[in-house]
Each structure stands twice: as C-alpha cells, then as structure tokens.
Amino acid sequence: PVAVQKAETKDSNSDIDNKKNNEIIDNEASNDLNILNPIDITAEQDKNETREKEIILQQEDISPKENTNGEVSPLEIKDTAEEETVDIIDSRFTEEYDPTLSLSHYKFPPLDLLKDYETSAVVNEEELNTNKNKIEETLKNYGINIVKISATIGPTITLYEIIPAPGVRISKIKNLEDDIALSLAALGIRIIAPIPGKGTVGIEVPNKKPQIVSIRSVIASKKFQTSEMELPIAIGKTISNETYIFDLTKMPHLLVAGATGQGKSVGLNAIITSLLYTKHPTTLKFVMIDPKMVEFSLYEKMRSHFLAITESAVDSEEFIITDIHKVIYTLQSLVQEMENRYQLLKIAHAKNIIEYNERFVKRNLNPEKGHRFLPYIVVIIDEFADLIQTAGKEIELPLGRIAQKARAVGIHLIVATQRPSTNVITGVIKANFPGRIAFRVTSIVDSRTILDQTGANQLIGKGDMLISRGGGDLIRIQCAFASTEEVESLVDFIGEQEGLDPLLLPEPSETDNKSSSKGLAANEGSDDLDVLFREVATYVVETQHGSTSMIQRKFKIGYNRAGRIMDQLEDIGIVSPSEGSKARKVLIQDIVTLEQILEQILKN
C-alpha cells in the first residue's frame, strides 16, 4: 500500500508540472503577439497570402514572372487580358444565331385581314336520303345488290360509300358512272372503286348548295397553326371537311393545271397566303414569273420582304418578272444559285438545307469563309404554256436542271398552266414534278396528261380539285378561296412595314448566259453568226417577210435564238430596225444581192 501511494503522488506531481508548462507556453505566445504592432501583423498576413498564392501557382504549374521591382511582368498582364477577352468572345458566340433579328420588328399578318364566309349551306337529310335511294335503285336495275350505304358530307361534295354484296364485280359498278350521274341529274359524279384502305366503293356526288371554303378557315385551323412542317400549305378542305395541309419541301415541286376560270389562280393565291402566314421574310423568298403581267402584280408591294430578284431586275425596277428574256436570265440565275448552295453544303458536309442551317445557327460555320443562312426560295411560274411556246428549250433546260437537283438546297418550283398538253408538259417536266394539282379540264386526254389518269375532266369547277402527291392516289379537295381584296390587304400589311433589300440572285455562269439551248454556233463570240444565219437570211429574202415568230416556227428554235438571228440580220442590213409589233421590212430584194453580202462577210 505504501508503494501504491507513492506512485499516485508521483503521477499527481507530474500532471501539475505539465499544466504549469502549458501555461508558460501560452503566456509566451501571448506576450509575442502583444509585442507585434498592427503594421507588423498586416505584413505578416501579406506574407502568408503571398505564400498561399505561390503554392496555388505551383500547383497549376504556373510561375509568376517578376521584374526587379517585384511587380508582375507586362507579359503576364497581357496573357491575363487575352484570356479574359477570349472568355468574353466565347460567351458571346455560344448563343445561337437568329436570322430573324435582322428584321426583328416584323409583325406576322393577323387573321383579321381575311374574311370568314357564312357556312349556312348544309346538305339536309332529305337530299341525303333521296340520293341514297336513287343510287341503290340504279344499281339494282343492273343486278347489283348492296349491303350498306353511308354518306360523308363535305363542303361541296358528298361521298356515298357502298359495301357491295358478295360476288359483285367492282368493275361492273365502275362502268355505271354515267348511268348514276343520269339518275341523280348531277354533274361531276366520280366513282372510286375501291376506296384505298377500305373495303368500300365510293361515289362522289356534288351538293346542290356548295359551301365556300374561306382561306381564313383553313389558316385558323388547329391543324395548320400547330404544324411543324418546313413549308406548310393549307390548300383547302377534303370531302370529310378536314383541312388539308401538305409540306412543299416533301413534294418537292408542284405542277398546277386547269382550264380558264376553274380556280387555278385562286389556288396559287392560297399557296402564297399560307406561306406568308407562317414564314419570316428572312427565311423565305419568292421568285414570281408572270407572262400575263396581271396575276402577281399585287405582290410587288412586298418586294422588300419576300422577293428574290436579279440585279438587272433591280435596275429596271421589275420585281415581278414578265419579259421572256428576263425569265430565261432569271432561271439561269437560279441554276447558279443552286450550284453555289451545293458548294456551301459540300464544304459544310451537310446533306440538305436543314442540316446546313442548323449548323450555321449553332455557329459551327464561319461567315468569313462565305457561309450564310440560306432562306427557302419558292419559284412560282404562271402561264407556263406561253413560255414554252415562246422560248422552248431555253426555258425547259434550266427548269429541268432546277427540278432535278434543287430540292436539297431549298429551291422549290410551282408551275401553273391552263393547257396541260403533251407539248407543254413534256416527259422531263412530268418526271421531276411528282406533286400535281388538277382543277377541271376539258378532256380526258388533258386529265391523263396532268394526273396520268382520268378524273380531272369530271370535276365541277369553282375550286373543285384533285391532288396527287406522287403515290397514284387522288384526293378530292375544295380549294380555299382568297379574294383579291384579301390578298391586297395582306400584301399592304406586309409592305407597310420596314423591310430589307431584296435578295439578289447571282449572275449566271458564262456558259448559261450565252445560251441554254442546243444548236447555237460552236464559237459563241459576240461577233459570230449563228449556224442557221445563211439559211434564215435566204428564207427571209425569198419570202420578203421578217419576223422573229416566223423564224421561230419555221426553223423550230427558241425565241431567244430567233431574236438573236433577227438582230444579226438587222446589223448586216438585211432587215429594218424593229417597229414595235410590226414585221420588219426586208431591205434586200433578191438572192443575188444577198449572196454578194454574205460573201463579203465571210471574207472579213
């Protein structure tokens, strides 16, 4: 017990000694702090901060460069400033490019500019039952029994669907088209045997009181307003009274035909109006070609917003192209624009305009290297038959090139004609225009030319149309009506706003500009005579009649080439200068004198 007590006493004394030692250390540290004045404390803190910075720099593998005064060298300051500038530029260009900002104050046209027509004309129950009974009775007279008949009412047409009894041949019903039309005392009966995707036969019968489908009703529809198509077009309403919308980029080109007064011009207005209500001026441009000079004149007011033109058109202030020479020049310019766009797509490794514009918007393409945002270009040509008869191959060749290749670069064609004959709508044109719209035509032959099948000759007119999207199936639609007053109000609203300079199309390539047709002289110098010059000159002197149209018809060449030969005849002195629409006077009276002149030219 004594030993234990001594050990405890020793431990207790040790604890007391340790406590005293700790108190002495704390007091010494406290005294040291009291000795340091505030200035010394600040200096000590600065040294600590400097050590921390040096440690951080060493960790980042960066060594500060100091001069003799202990200041950071200008080189480091410059590097730091450059890093900050790079950060600012990077943050600025991370935002996506918005093409609409160049015309940020543009307002889309309101629906109030369009009229909403009354829809009081409705097929009543009595009319439906009468037509059903007559159809059933007519079929029964020819030994055709039906299981069921139902009706779908549209704005101008009612579709009666028939389920024939087992064993009935469909072709037998199809052959009774005229007999059913006679029993119903109706025009425009069309039998669809069978209806695609259904086990029924359809009989389309016009309503006694057709409705007007307003352009406002189709544009205001939810289907159109919520559409995510690139170039949505609300063309009208189907037999089931549904708004029919298609994407022009999927067509990709459209051929429109119909006799005079059947709704062709109204259809073109509906197409243009649909695009004006959905596209910003920086994302869409029109090229409008109007040989009649009256169809598209209203749209000239929006030249600063939606029109694309050539530089020569700017000089002459002709924004809607009407002159045949300018039509050819414009088509050649479009060919050059198409080729330029393909070069941009090639450099950007993009397959089409959508991919290219997406990369440009995300700032993956450098504008300093020629890249630019590409708007869609919709080319609308009216009275195509007149152009083909006037200029022939000089129109068809550039148009064919555009139709074959331009889809991927956002150039789309809409060609309209009132004479869908085979010499106007050639095989080249038909092959590259899978989208077709047919209004009423006068013959089965014309219907087959435009649609490759009958049907357009059985329409009732006034906007009644058939549309084919390349698959062979036809859809009957009542075209939306846009009056001249509505179009004028729409164009005025757009034209009164601040606009941009019209989109200028590039100059045609030298080859295209000289001639787009075969048969011109091999050497295309300006002083060289056409290979047909001697033959034409001889004919003009023999007949004593000089006109461009006569040369065109006789030698089967385009207007551009015939006009050039006529200019050469004038320069040499064989015919007089032009006197308006009159035929030129022939100044050489006999072949002998002509031969002497030609020999002199050859010597020179």
Q: For 134-144, how does the pLDDT look when each residue is reduced to its tens digit (9 = 90+)? A: 999 999 998 89
Give buried/exposed letters for 148-176 (b at 16+ CB in 10 A, else e): ebebebbbbbbbbbbebeeebeeeebeeb
Distance of CA 204 to the CA centre of its chain: 33
pLDDT > 70: percent of the chain: 79
**Regarding predicted confidence, which is higher, 68 or 336?**
336
Q: What percent of the chain has pLDDT over 90?
A: 42
Question: What per-residue confidence (pLDDT) applies to 89?
Answer: 44
Write down the pLDDT at residue 30.
Answer: 46
Looking at residue 267, its pLDDT comes to 95
The H or E element spanning position 19 is helix 2-35
Question: Please, what is the average pLDDT of the chain?
Answer: 82
Contacts of 39 (CB under 8 A, 6+ apart): none
Element (H, E) at 435: strand 435-438
Residue 470 CB coordination number (10 Å): 11
**Which CATH number does 215-511 carry?**
3.40.50.300
Domain extents in the chain: 125-206, 215-511, 528-602
* pLDDT exceeds cutoff 50 at 69: no
More confident residue, 285 or 80: 285
Structure tokens at 346: 């090639």
Question: pLDDT band at 85, cuts 50/70/90?
Answer: very low
Model confidence, pTM: 0.71
Please, which residues have CB within 8 angstroms of residue 373's CB and are 6 or more apart in sequence? Answer: 97, 99, 282, 357, 360, 361
Distance of alpha carbon 377 from alpha carbon 358, whole angstroms = 17
Question: Who contacts 401 (Cβ-Cβ below 8 Å, separation ≥6)?
Answer: 335, 338
CA dist 591 to 254, 451, 538, Å?
A: 51, 51, 7
- pLDDT-derived band at 66 (thresholds 50, 70, 90) equals very low
Over residues 331-335, the mean pLDDT reads 95
The CATH label, of 3.10.20.810, 1.10.10.10, 1.10.1060.10, 3.90.650.10, for the domain at 528-602 is 1.10.10.10
Tell whether domain 125-206 is in CATH 3.30.980.40: yes
